[in-house]
Amino acid sequence: MSCGAALAISLLLTDPNVALAAEQPPAVAGAPVSVASEPLFAEIVTRSTAMRGIVGTWISAGAADNAAFGTSEEFALLVRDTTALADLDMQGHLILKERGTDGDLKCILRGISEDMPKKVEAVRTAATPAERRVALDELHYLLNDNVEVITAPPQPPV
């Protein structure tokens, strides 16, 4: 037995991660690559996750029942933060468009960028608690979608 083979066997026996890695299929050349770890996309995920938590807390706390919620300081901060997030989503769209990669994510990010201000405005202009609740739910869903589309494993084009 060669020294290399003996070393490989000893590593397999001592570190279970080596064995797990060896069981994985080899990377396919040209396969789609996840952008989730790139700084811009990671920032989108971080911000969306934080805002989703805030909106979820508002939903749980009954913020929809407050007629003045759309004019509150808390809401003004949400407007500012979602505007910045929508800008980041559009930047992500433009980066992917420039690369000529990941058509679905590229389109979804653009859609989220365009929908975010509309969802926030729906919360602001809701006339009744029921309308505010629906608007907050839709905003919460959009923020969740923003996280999930970036962190989902990339799919090959169809």
pLDDT in tens, the chain (158 residues): 565 555 555 555 555 544 444 454 554 555 567 899 999 999 999 999 999 999 999 999 999 999 999 999 999 999 999 999 999 999 999 999 998 876 789 999 999 999 999 999 999 999 999 999 999 999 999 999 999 999 998 766 65
Report if residue 25 sits inside a domain.
no
Report if residue 101 sits inside a domain.
yes
Report if residue 31 sits inside a domain.
no
Report if residue 102 sits inside a domain.
yes
Report if residue 48 sits inside a domain.
yes
Which domain, by its residues, includes 132?
39-151
pLDDT of residue 101: 74
pLDDT of residue 153: 83
Report if residue 5 sits inside a domain.
no
Contact 55, 143 (CB under 8 A): yes
Report if residue 78 sits inside a domain.
yes
Contact 85, 47 (CB under 8 A): yes
Q: What is the pLDDT of residues 61-74, one digit of tens each?
A: 999 999 999 999 99
Structurally, the chain folds into a number of domains equal to 1
Cβ–Cβ contacts within 10 Å for residue 130, how many?
11
Report if residue 100 sits inside a domain.
yes
